[in-house]
Every structure is written in C-alpha cells, then in structure tokens.
Chains A and B, each alone.
Chain A
Amino acid sequence: MAFRTKRKQEQLSVNDDTQTVAVRPGLGPDTAASVSLDHVSRWFGDIVAVSDVSFGIGAGVTGLLGPNGAGKSTVLKMMSGLLPPSSGEVTVMGQPARGRPESYRELGLVSEQEVIYPFLTGREFVSLNAKLQKLPNAKEAVERAIDLVDMQHAADRKVGGYSKGMRQRIKIAGALVHDPGVILMDEPLNGTDPVQRAEIIRLIRQLGREGKSVVVSSHVLVEVERFAQNILVIINGKLAAAGDYRAIRDRIDSHDHEVRIRASDVRGLAALLVTQPMVRAVRMDRQDRLVVETNDVRSFYQMVPAAAQHADVRLYEMQPIDESLTSVFSYLVEQ
C-alpha cells in the first residue's frame, strides 16, 4: 500500500508496511519540528484509533486530511496532551506533550467540541482564556483576538445564542488570545457559511505566514488546498501519505466526488448544474438537498458559487459526502 507520484517523488513521504520512510513525514529536510509524533499508537479497548504514526510539524500550515473517523481528532488530542498515546512519543517544542501545563503558553487548540460555557458572552469567554493564560495585557489581547475573528459585533452576546459558525470563531479567538506558536485546529470550518469560511481560511493562512506552526484537520479535500501547502493524510488511523499538496491534488481531482448542497432553490440550481461539463449526475435526497456527482471537484467548487449567484440562489452549505470521501481516500491510497 503506497502513494506515489513520480513528478513530486522527492517531496513525498510514504508510510506503508514495506517501505522505509526516507524523509521525516510532514517535514522538509531542513525544517525543525515544533510538534513531533514518533511511532505513536492509540487504542480504546479493542479499537485501534491511531496506529504507529510518525511525522513532524514545522512552521507554516499543515493540513491533516482524512475521512470522518480516520483518527484525526485523536491525533490532535495527543498533540495537545489531552490524550496520552498508548505507545510512542508525542513532543511539542522538544518536550513531552503531556504533563507540562506550562507548555500551553505556546499551544492553542481549537477543538471540534461544540459546547462552550453558554452563560458567558463571547468577550467573557475570550477573557477567561486570557486570564487563565495569565496574560499581563489581557484586555488588549482579548480585543485583538476578537478582532482577528471579526466578532466584535456579537462579542457581548451570550455564547449560548451563537450560531455554530460564531461558536467556531469565538473558539478560535480563545485559542489565539495568547498568541501561541503552535496552533491545532480540529475541523474549524465546520458549520461556517461561505463568508465565514473565507475569513477563517484567510486567518489560517495569515498565521502560517507569521511563522506559526498551524495544524488544521479537515475531511474536505478542496478546502485544505486553500490554506495548507503540506498535508498529512490519515486513513484508518494510519499515515497514508504526507507531503506537498500539489503532488497529490491531481490524483484527488481525477476521482469522482459526491457533494451535498443546501440552497434556497435547489431545483433551480439543479437545472443549472446538469448543464455543466464536470457534473456527471444530480439527484435530490430526502431532505431536499442536492447530491451532485462530479469528476472534477476543484472546478466544480469554483463553478457553483458563480452559478448560484447567476441564478439568484442562496447557497447555505456545500459538503462532500463522507462515503464519497472514503472512496476518494481509498483510491488515493491504492494509487
């Protein structure tokens, strides 16, 4: 089982049962690792969530890619020290990830966890994070973090009344308030609308440009391309591939994808989409959402917003279907 691309062979690392990894996966030859996993496994009872994974994370944005249930969240929790590995070692800035609370001055986690103290306002939640970080200029840091995620307008509202996208953004503000060097984000784009998504992607890229080590997990292949140069592909708890995104993009694109779309006028949108060359089939599911099969997912994602605008249709959600993703990832590994 191996992923190979002749064109970018030197930029890729491959993890399989028979091949030795030449370059530390996830890192270039001259890059220092901010976060490092060394033969890490994690199991819950009889279930192996992560199996013998080794890679390093350097400065810049790294995408942690894989279908739901692949082990991405478990990897991030081990990186943040919330979970101990069953075997192997996880280090952050050269020190063990667990058992050193002082290391959290340099680390911020945006977890997939949805619940935030509902009785706090957004500003109070970010302020709570600042106080627990013992920041000397907490007030300034709080305002800066809220500005970063563009939440000033809702900062004095209770978090319990926030939409999912607003909760995501205020969680990001809480994780960034102390300006950490290592930032872990677990599916930060979940539940966000296209505008919020664009804002968060812009922020992720900005953090990467500032030299921070940012790890962003996602099961949305095309989105990862927008913020991460390096990617790690996790499938069934194993590191299936690691390296430059461009090296695997073509392989991903050439496989059929299914995308689910929620919009204000799905029938009108469907009529437009069926005429597009990259669309192979369009159907509606039981919840009146469009399910579109495409053989060129990148062009498809670029085309849909423009088509929707043209038809005066409002897009609410555009998500790849998990079963489709699993098949894409399996295909990727088989190559």
Chain B
Amino acid sequence: MTITLLTIRQFLRAKSLMVVAAICLLPVLFAVIPHLIPDEFNLRDLREMLSDVIYLNLFATTLLPLATLVLATAALGDEIDDKTLQYIALKPISRLRIAFEKWFAVMTVTLPVVWVGIVVTWAVISWGNIDAMRDMLLPMLASGTVGVIGFGSVFMLLSLFVQRALLFGVFYVFIWESTLSRFLPGIRSISISHYTRSLFIRLLDDRRVTIDGPSATTTIIITIVAIAVVSLLLSTWRLRTMAME
C-alpha cells in the first residue's frame, strides 16, 4: 500500500485536512443551542433537532459531501496539477492499483474525521440524555460511511476529468445534492445524499423521522457499491488514456 501511505502523508500535512475537520465539526455549533435554552427543548425536540435539522438537512446533504470533496479531489487532482503523479505513473503498477490505493487513502483519512464529527455532535446534543439518544448514533455513523464512499468515489473520478474539480464539486453539492435532489422527486434517485439519508431513516426506524420516498436498504447498498466500482473502473480507464503533460 505504498501509494496509500504516501497519499495519507500528503493529506496529514495539508491544510485541507483542517478544512475537512472544521466542516465536520460545524454541526457542534447547532448541537450546543439546546443547552443554551434548555427550557425550549424536551427530549422529542432534541431528537428532531439532531435527526432532521442537523443530520438529514445539514450534514448529509451539504457538510458530508463538502468534507469528502476536499480530500477526494486532492488525492489525484493535486498530483495532476503539480505533476507529481508521473512519479507514480511511470512505475510497473497497474492503473487500477493506483486508482484503488488513492481511493483507499481518501477513505482512510476522511472516514475517521467524519465519524469524529458525528460522535462529537451526537455527544454534545445528547449530553444529559445519552440513553434516550443512543439509538441515533449508529445510523448516523453507518449512513455517513455510505455517503463518504459514494461521494469520495465520484469526486475522485471528477478530478480526473475537470481541472477545477473542487470548485465544480462545490457547485454540484449546493445545486444538485443540497437543493434539487431534495425538492425534485425525479432527481432523487440519482443523488448520493438521498441514499445517505435513506439509510439513516431505515436504520433508525423511528416513524417520526422520515424523508420523501426513502430507498430500501438493499437498494442503497447495491447502488453505493455500484457507484464506487464504476467510479474506480472509470478512474482506471482515465489514468490509462489521459495525457500527463
């Protein structure tokens, strides 16, 4: 896993990792609010605040894709920009291995940061009601993981086709994932955040927490695996055919 380790070292020294951490910890600001005005929030309000406001409408649709975008586009995109990719490309290793190891590095660094963001947010908002809020943690972690896999795969592929992938990705997140996919039913099934939100709903299994037309768990898993596999194969093809100037 030489390329994975190299990429992880690149991530760990980059400012972009701080940006990812800041994005993932942003929901903590919202999680503090109920503790500032405790009389306004009963347990049901707390659950609604965490599930609907923070997770479904902020984290899963906007913050999670943005956090993943930063590192996924940097993994190959930065090396194409500064031309260091040729140190890896001019070696007797398959393009599939390069794509996979880069993808694996994105997952290895992004997932823990996302998990920490989720756990801290959950811990802050649940403070004093841990037992009553415990059932929400695992669905958030699992669906967050699915989101990182889906977004990470697509954004890494994007960086092989688009020169300013980060900027392009930001527009995509705000216009497609955060806005259109939530309000236009036809677009829902081709939005990764829909599957992230659906998995949360399915795993939480709380009839008071729902979204429009959630997908079945099997559909979610098959779709996300398919997105990851197709993205990796297309990344491999792109690495084989692209000119490295």
Q: Are A133 and B83 in contact (CB under 8 A)?
A: no
B243 to chain A, nearest CB (A): 5
Does A105 count as interface, using CB distance less than 8 angstroms? yes
For residue B244, which residues in chain A have a CB less than 8 angstroms away from its CB? Answer: 77, 82-83
Q: How many residues of chain B have a CB within 8 Å of chain A?
A: 24
Q: Pick the most buried of B3, B86, B87: most chain A CB atoms within 10 A of its CB.
A: B87
Residues of chain A whose beta carbon lies under 8 Å from any beta carbon of chain B:
77, 80-84, 99, 101-105, 107-109, 111, 113, 115-117, 119-120, 128-129, 131-134, 174
For residue A83, which residues in chain B have a CB less than 8 angstroms away from its CB? Answer: 243-245
* Known A101-B91, A104-B90, A105-B92: A82·B243 in contact at CB below 8 Å: yes
Q: Are A132 and B88 in contact (CB under 8 A)?
A: yes
B98 to chain A, nearest CB (A): 9
Q: Are B243 and A84 in contact (CB under 8 A)?
A: yes
The residue that B91 contacts in the complex, of A111, A119, A129, with Cβ under 8 A, is A129
Q: Find the A residue at minimum CB distance from B98.
A: A101
Q: Are B86 and A117 in contact (CB under 8 A)?
A: no
Within B223-245, the residues touching A (CB, 8 Å) are 240-241, 243-245
Does B108 count as interface, using CB distance less than 8 angstroms? no
Q: Which of B5-13, B114-122, B192-200 contacts A (4 or more CB under 8 A)?
A: B5-13
Q: Are A128 and B87 in contact (CB under 8 A)?
A: yes
Identify 29 residue pairs between A and B in the complex whose beta-carbon atoms are under 8 Å apart, listed by A's number.
Answer: A77-B245, A82-B90, A82-B243, A84-B243, A101-B91, A103-B92, A104-B92, A105-B92, A108-B90, A109-B90, A111-B86, A113-B84, A115-B84, A117-B6, A117-B10, A117-B84, A117-B87, A119-B9, A128-B2, A128-B6, A128-B87, A129-B87, A129-B91, A132-B3, A132-B92, A132-B93, A133-B91, A134-B92, A174-B87
For residue B10, which residues in chain A have a CB less than 8 angstroms away from its CB? Answer: 117, 119
For residue A103, which residues in chain B have a CB less than 8 angstroms away from its CB? Answer: 92
Does B94 count as interface, using CB distance less than 8 angstroms? yes
Contact count A vs B, C-beta below 8 Å: 66
Q: Are B83 and A115 in contact (CB under 8 A)?
A: yes
Does B95 count as interface, using CB distance less than 8 angstroms? yes
Q: Pick the most buried of A77, A82, A83, A174: most chain B CB atoms within 10 A of its CB.
A: A82
Does B131 count as interface, using CB distance less than 8 angstroms? no
* Known A82-B244, A131-B2: A115·B82 in contact at CB below 8 Å: yes
A87 to chain B, nearest CB (A): 14
Q: Pick the most buried of B13, B89, B92, B95: most chain A CB atoms within 10 A of its CB.
A: B92
Bound-complex Cα distance A63 to B90 (A) = 22
